[in-house]
Amino acid sequence: MDKPLKTPPAYAIASVDHALRAATILQMEGPLTVSQIAERLGVARSTAHRLLAMLVYRDFAVQDDDRVYHAGPVLELAAHSRSQVSLLRAAALPHLRRIVDLLNETANLTVRTRDTARFIASVECTQALRVGSREGMVFPAHRTTAGLLLLAELTDEELDDVYAPERYRDRPGERPDLAVLRPELERIGRGGFAVNQERSERGLVAVGVPVRDEDGGAVAGLSVSMPSVRYEPRRLRSLVATLDAAARALEADLAAGR
Q: What are the distances in angstroms from CA 200 to CA 34, 140, 208?
A: 33, 9, 14
Q: Is residue 201 scored above 70 in pLDDT?
A: yes
Q: Is 20 exposed, middle or buried (0-12, 13-18, 19+ CB in 10 A)?
A: middle
What is the per-residue pLDDT across 233-257, written as a single tens digit (0 to 9) for each? Answer: 999 999 999 999 999 999 999 998 8
Q: Tell if the pTM clears 0.75, that is, is over it.
A: no
**Count of residues in the chain:** 258
pLDDT of residue 4: 52
- Short-list 89, 101, 94, CA closest to 125: 101
What is the per-residue pLDDT across 21-36, written as a single tens digit (0 to 9) for each? Answer: 999 888 878 889 999 9
Adjacency order of strands within the sheet including 218-227: 138-140, 116-123, 106-113, 218-227, 204-212, 194-197
Q: Is 165 exposed, middle or buried (0-12, 13-18, 19+ CB in 10 A)?
A: exposed
pLDDT of residue 7: 63
**Distance between CA atoms of residues 254 and 258, nearest Å:** 6
Q: Which pLDDT band, with edges at 50, 70 and 90, does 83 fall under?
A: low
**Distance between CA atoms of residues 113 and 6, nearest Å:** 19
